[in-house]
Structures are given as C-alpha cells and as structure tokens.
A = this chain, B = another copy of it.
C-alpha cells in the first residue's frame, strides 16, 4: 500500500488482494472488534490509496468469507460468527415440509468408559483409552424425533461432566470451542437404515422399528477426528437433508 503505481506489477500481487490482507492485518491487531463498524468505503479507499472500485473488490471477498458483513445505508461491520448459526450449518434434519427448526436438547446417560473397537477406529485412537459417551435427546417443534449418541475422546475433553453439558450456552460445537479449544470445521456423514433399540423409548417406537441412522465423524483442523456420533431419526415427520440445491 502507499505504493507507486508500478509496485503492483513488481510484487505481482493484485492491489485488491493487498488491500484485503491489510484489512485482515488491522482486524488481527484488533483495530476493529467483532460487531464494530469499519470506516466508510470512501475513507478506506483514501487510507489505502486505492480507488473505490478496488477497495470494494477487497471488501467483497472479505464479505464472501463471512469475515465482514455489509448493510446498505448503515455501514460495514466485523461479522459475529462465533455463535449459533455458524455451527448450525451441520444440522441437516429438516421437516418434510422443508422447514428447518431449532432443536431443544436434553442430555442423558452420561458415562465414562473404555473405547470399543468401532469408536477406536472412527476416532483414530491408538490405544484403548477412555471416552465419554452421552445421549442428546432432541425435540423439534415439540416432536421427540431425534436422539444423538455422542462419543468423545476423554483426553480432548478434560473434566467433562453432565452438569457442564447442561449448563452450556449456545450450541454443542460452540461449547467444545469455548471450553476445550476444539474447533469442529468439517464432518463426514453416512446414512443407513437401522433399528430404534436403545433410542426407542424416547422416540415412542418399538426397539425393532426402522429408523434413519446418521453416522458422523467431526473433524478439527488437519482432519483430526474429535467426535463420533450416531444420530437416530424418526422419519415420520422429518427427513435428512442430503444435498440442498443452491
């Protein structure tokens, strides 16, 4: 920035990319905090000595990356996406009418024990170490439609307890992040038909009733598995959203 017009050619990096990096650097330094407004486009274009168009292209990309949010007539703000909606994107259960509703969770059956063979495989555990397991019973629109059996490596979640799960704020994955520094950034999900079994009572089904079984591995950075869960869905009123068209 603050360059001669030739510097762009010399460095080989497009000006708008340099502007983007400069904005990211200012964000990293804490010049503007989450939720705060940035200076106007005119002020920023003057500060970085680029045209409005170039400044806008940089901001466009930051908005596309959901780092900034723009509101016509109000200004450009630092996005707040440490909260629910960001992690909610992994929730792929939808009503047959197409409506995605927010689940109410209730945690039960909390245990700590040795990992079994499948858990060792899915979580890539080398030795037979401890895991936490618990059930998250979920109610959607008042319907008891979903139970998730969640298995976590004890080493990654020190001193996890049922009380901490129940007293958490916001989503489960947000809780992983705020209390254990674990960021879930991707999941692998496979779906098959199963039987209700230990989930039957909550779902008001027979143990041998067919249900949708969604088997998920959640990954942190470097595709390290941090959670293994089996979700059991009664598809009488709900469906699994395999792929949503754009």
Contacts and interface: CB of A to CB of B under 8 A. Distances in A.
Given A92-B243, A210-B210, A245-B223, A193 B193 contact: yes
- Residue among A191, A217, A223, A239 having the largest count of chain B Cβ atoms under 10 Å: A191
A240 B191 contact: yes
Interface string A231-246: 0000100111111111
Interface stretch (A26-34, A76-84, A126-134, A182-190): A182-190
B242 A189 contact: yes
Contacts of A219: 245
A74 interface: no
A193 to B, nearest CB: 5
B212 A243 contact: no
Interface string A216-231: 0101000100000000
A152 B241 CA distance: 22
A187 B235 CA distance: 21
7 contacts: A186-B245, A188-B245, A190-B242, A191-B235, A191-B239, A193-B211, A212-B212
Given A186-B245, A187-B245, A191-B191, 16 more contacts: A53-B53, A65-B246, A96-B192, A186-B246, A190-B240, A190-B241, A191-B235, A191-B239, A191-B240, A191-B242, A192-B238, A193-B193, A193-B210, A193-B212, A215-B239, A217-B245
